[in-house]
Amino acid sequence: MSEKTRLNKPVAFNRKREEDQKILAFTKRKNFSGFAKKAMLEYIERHQNKPKLQEVKTVVPIQKKEPVKLTPVSRVQDEPKPQPVKEKASDRMAKMKEQIKKPGTQQPGPAMFNQKR
């Protein structure tokens, strides 16, 4: 072949990259140009023979729905919520004292400390 019909496309490899080291080790004793050409042809054939996804144009009929008529919201008369009754402090203290009371025990106070032992 004459030099006019040839096209040179060099490939650069980085010796520090692991992937490039694998390629260089594999192709060390091979005809690199022939190997690269065969690999590229196989790649091209594989991608050309892939069935391409055909565009499927299907028309889906849209069901028309009646428009929703919006009306102003009328206030719903719910049962009035009972307001929480605030207990008086004295009532809460009485409840706490009843919870603390145990049958058969004395309440702490001055009378308890004045007893003789």
Q: What is the pLDDT along the chain (117 residues), one digit of tens a residue?
A: 567 888 888 888 899 999 999 988 888 888 888 888 998 999 998 888 766 666 656 777 777 778 777 766 655 555 667 777 778 888 888 888 888 866 666 666 666 666 665
Q: Find all residues with CB under 8 Å of 13, minimum gap 6, and list them.
A: 20, 23, 24
The answer to pTM > 0.75 is: no
Q: Evaluate the CA torsion angle 94, 99, 104, 109 in order and state its sign.
A: negative
23, with CB counted inside 10 A (0-12, 13-18, 19+), is: middle
Amino acid present at 107: Q
Integer Cα distance of 21 and 14 in angstroms: 8
Residue holding tokens 């007893």? 115
